[in-house]
């Protein structure tokens, strides 16, 4: 099963490489990885999505917790949560397909954020599934470039991941 693990990490040099290194060292897989500072400058928040059965996920969270730079973590998929990813896509927009791109962008509630005579740059947010669907819909028209942020997430309701 796919899991989204969010980690509060000491904002120290080398901390990120410990997390990433752990995944390769122990043969765990990383599907997406997203990291940025939080409101507390001493902490970064890192979100990984990974695939694995219960035993593997248990090992992943235990080993992550063992890293001294990991302050706290949560497996968001254990409860209700909000998952978002942002994607920027350049698609071919020539002749008849220019309209079709525009229509599809509207259907997906995406936005065109840059335009040239032959290219639209589209911005879209949503869960990973929505982004995948958009890529699929655009594929026949011609995708030129994709930049995805990787998943970020937060739990629903009053539950909070903080110090």
Site residues for another protein per CB under 8 A? 10, 13-14, 17-18, 21, 25, 55, 58-59, 62-63, 65-66, 68-72, 163
Q: How far is the CB of 151 from another protein (least distance, A)?
A: 23
Q: Which is nearer to another protein, 68 or 96 (CB)?
A: 68
Q: In this structure, what token pair is assigned to residue 96?
A: 């008849």
Q: How far is the CB of 63 from another protein (least distance, A)?
A: 5
- CB contact at 8 A, 73 and 65: yes
Dist CA 10 CA 13 (whole Å): 9
- CB contact at 8 A, 5 and 48: yes
Q: Which is nearer to another protein, 18 or 92 (CB)?
A: 18
Q: How far is the CB of 24 from another protein (least distance, A)?
A: 9
Q: Which is nearer to another protein, 63 or 81 (CB)?
A: 63
Q: How far is the CB of 159 from another protein (least distance, A)?
A: 20
Q: Which is nearer to another protein, 30 or 86 (CB)?
A: 30
């Amino acid at each position: 099963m796919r899991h989204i693990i969010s980690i509060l990490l000491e904002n120290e040099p080398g901390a990120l490489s410990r997390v990433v290194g752990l995944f390769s060292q122990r043969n765990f897989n990383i599907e997406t990885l997203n990291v940025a500072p939080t409101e507390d400058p001493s902490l970064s928040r890192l979100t990984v999505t990974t695939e694995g059965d219960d035993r593997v996920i248990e090992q992943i969270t235990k080993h992550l917790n063992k890293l001294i730079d990991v302050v706290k973590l949560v497996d968001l998929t254990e409860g209700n949560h909000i998952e978002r990813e942002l994607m920027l896509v350049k698609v071919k927009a020539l002749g008849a397909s220019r309209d079709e791109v525009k229509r599809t962008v509207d259907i997906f509630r995406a936005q065109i954020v840059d335009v040239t005579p032959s290219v639209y740059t589209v911005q879209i947010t949503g869960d990973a599934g929505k982004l995948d669907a958009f890529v699929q819909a655009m594929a026949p028209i011609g995708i030129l470039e994709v930049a995805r942020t990787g998943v970020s997430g937060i739990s629903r309701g009053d539950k909070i991941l903080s110090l």
